[in-house]
Structure 1
């Protein structure tokens, strides 16, 4: 029988790329050769993008029966089962956490704007340092939003937090300010001289970080819609030209590695636009949806789109843009729908892995909520 050192390295790599993260964490102790392969940043990237690491549906949902928020992960791309169950990931939340996802890393944000990073595959969990903005006298907290993404130049993950303050006497908001958290330094930095003069910046329902740039809907003082972007590399904000085809029900999402605008003036007719170049929008499709659809949540694989129904039988459905078929699943929920790929990316640990401690990832998330 050949030992691990006798098998050609390229063959070993191809075999390891087919394995899930849980198996790779075990495989790293087989021999030094496998260990060096698995922790190599090049292998981590190849595994994330490998065809065997297919996208799975991650749902942040509200159960109307138990009155709890729950994180759930479908076991595979077939989206079988209702409700979706994966015991490694499902956690009952005391209240809603906003979740953002990039490269298999979840960025969690609670109603008090405490942040945490979580890799469900490796079970790494990291609470971010708390940041308390200094408010001027007589000012109180106003509106807040955030974004999460990756800077490929520095190979670093970043969270950008945007907030403004409210003057209850004058009944006006201050311009938005911002701070950035960098994973490599585990610290926040205020972005000096940033004053975003928008009355509204909306939090997207799905991750909109594309080619290191994160995107939000915003509204100027004349109530014109625009897209605000933030470059995770140079840490600069940029305003993309006004959107003439915007409606109050519009949704931003990633679509074939481009920014997409899902726009609908009524719930029966939906236009999908993709921004191939900055400010240049191309219509991809026009949909005629049934009356029970309340909103659109984002894209799944192979030209399918998540939708949310209205009424007492609230559920998430999947609409196929080519066949026009609708598949209902996960009843009685309010949801964020994210496409999840397992990742070896480490958010803690010198050698790219954390040794498991006595707390499970579920316990860590629940402790974060307390």
Structure 2
């Protein structure tokens, strides 16, 4: 051993424990997972709840540690491998979903239904017959149990999911909205702390759009939807409060680009610079224009204000998500991803392979946070992961 190496080991041994913990708490999750085999004290430290919380708070305080989370087009074509992609302005990498569940076949992909504090909610396309909570970093997963709630005889037509953290109860929750033939629907809420479902009795007078990924803001799920009854088919933002378990709606601002565009536009719900917002895209031709609107006072319709306009840009297919710092992720016609920064009015080509049509894009922060009742993939019998049969169609079954 060289003199320099010997001196380095001596310094490491002589460092106070508090300083070592502080240094380790600032490292990326992927580094800690490599270091857990260095020694038994470090292995135990990385499982300590206090250290896990300290590390997450450090990671979450820096916006450079956030990623766009999605399913790329590449992951559905390369040998049928399932994976999710993490994308930032400086790097892109794929994480395999090594959950080889016997029930599944390649024709039934996972859909990302939410990301919160490093935990990801996965569901099976199209009706979420299997729902999983999964930490991609630690490879711990949990299969949500089937709901005991009584079902109508008619089959479900559509299922909408939302996944988030309720700070009032310190609990992770999954909201499921099940649509049958109108006006029949069911709403139920899963609690990770109790590992159980309960039905939410409500008059569900909103049809949430198929392409509407949930947006978590102020302890509420938000989606784009069309309203019935007194709303008379108007498009609105619908929210569900995890605290009082009530649905509400927010009216949109009045969109208009120009007389030539008329009412031909589409809008995407976002969180923009710590405000609820919408990004509006004109549908007119190949050169799309964009407006970003923000609600300066949450829940007050009169506080909507246009923040910025940009474009027109050629060959833009759709808007996907806003980042923590307000950057806008866009997809071109052939799947290339670009990042627009409203502050500098610059565009960066990310050179990625695009997002599959049934995948939503979420903001993700890696963490060591555990999943109550979760299991490590390699140590689990995945034959025990079975679907909720109410959401299984005949052609979903895999014949052995």
Give the alignment's TM-score, normalised by structure 1.
0.79
Distance in 2 of aligned mates of 1:149 and 1:287 = 31
- Deviations 1:23-54, CA, capped at 9 Å, x for gaps: 54527941699468554564254144143971
User: 8 Å contact 2:177–2:188 — kept in the other structure?
Assistant: yes
Structure 2: segments with no counterpart, 5+ residues: 1-9, 101-105, 257-263, 388-395
Q: What's the secondary structure of 1:30's corresponding residue?
A: helix
Moved more, 323-332 or 152-161: 323-332
CA distance 1:354–1:6, change in 2 (3 Å)? farther
Structure 1: segments with no counterpart, 5+ residues: 167-172
CA distance 1:265–1:132, change in 2 (3 Å)? farther
Structure 2 counterpart of 1:318:
339
User: 8 Å contact 1:274–1:282 — kept in the other structure?
Assistant: yes
User: 8 Å contact 1:22–1:121 — kept in the other structure?
Assistant: yes
Structure 2 counterpart of 1:220:
227
User: 8 Å contact 1:224–1:242 — kept in the other structure?
Assistant: no
- Deviations 1:266-301, CA, capped at 9 Å, x for gaps: 362211112232132222211113231111001135
CA distance 1:325–1:4, change in 2 (3 Å)? same
User: 8 Å contact 1:69–1:95 — kept in the other structure?
Assistant: no
Q: Report the number of matched residues.
A: 348
Q: Does 1:209 align with 2:216?
A: yes
User: 8 Å contact 2:290–2:309 — kept in the other structure?
Assistant: yes
Give the alignment's TM-score, normalised by structure 2.
0.74
Q: 1:59 aligns with which of 47, 66, 70?
A: 70
User: 8 Å contact 2:212–2:224 — kept in the other structure?
Assistant: no
How far apart are residue 21 of structure 1 and its match?
2.8
User: 8 Å contact 2:148–2:197 — kept in the other structure?
Assistant: no
- Deviations 1:100-122, CA, capped at 9 Å, x for gaps: 11111111121231211111011
How far apart are residue 210 of structure 1 and its match?
1.2
Q: 2:122 aligns with which of 89, 108, 120?
A: 108
How far apart are residue 12 of structure 1 and its match?
3.5
As a proportion of its length, which structure holds more helix?
A: 2
How far apart are residue 132 of structure 1 and its match?
6.7
Structure ID, larger Rg: 2
How far apart are residue 261 of structure 1 and its match?
0.5
Q: What's the secondary structure of 1:46's corresponding residue?
A: helix
User: 8 Å contact 2:328–2:339 — kept in the other structure?
Assistant: yes
Moved over 6 A (4+): 2-6, 366-370
Q: Does 1:73 align with 2:95?
A: no
- Deviations 1:115-170, CA, capped at 9 Å, x for gaps: 11111011111111123764445x3323321111111111110000012211xxxx
User: 8 Å contact 2:208–2:226 — kept in the other structure?
Assistant: yes
1:1-370 equivalences under 5 Å are: 1=10, 7=16, 9=18, 11-24=19-32, 26=36, 29-30=40-41, 34=45, 38-39=49-50, 42-43=53-54, 45-51=56-62, 54-63=65-74, 66=78, 68=80, 70-74=82-86, 77-79=89-91, 84-86=92-94, 94-99=107-112, 100-110=114-124, 111-113=126-128, 114-131=130-147, 134-137=150-153, 139-166=154-181, 173-192=182-201, 194-198=202-206, 200-203=207-210, 205-221=212-228, 222-245=232-255, 249-266=266-283, 268-277=288-297, 278=299, 279=301, 280-310=303-333, 313-321=334-342, 322-331=344-353, 333-334=355-356, 336-349=360-373, 357-358=378-379
User: 8 Å contact 1:161–1:178 — kept in the other structure?
Assistant: yes
RMSD: 3.6
Q: What's the secondary structure of 1:15's corresponding residue?
A: helix
- Deviations 1:344-367, CA, capped at 9 Å, x for gaps: 221135xxx86674469xx89x99
Distance in 2 of aligned mates of 1:244 and 1:34 = 53
CA distance 1:57–1:69, change in 2 (3 Å)? farther
CA distance 1:67–1:281, change in 2 (3 Å)? farther
Q: What's the secondary structure of 1:140's corresponding residue?
A: coil
CA distance 1:195–1:45, change in 2 (3 Å)? same
Moved more, 97-106 or 246-255: 246-255
How far apart are residue 88 of structure 1 and its match?
5.5
Moved more, 69-78 or 252-261: 69-78
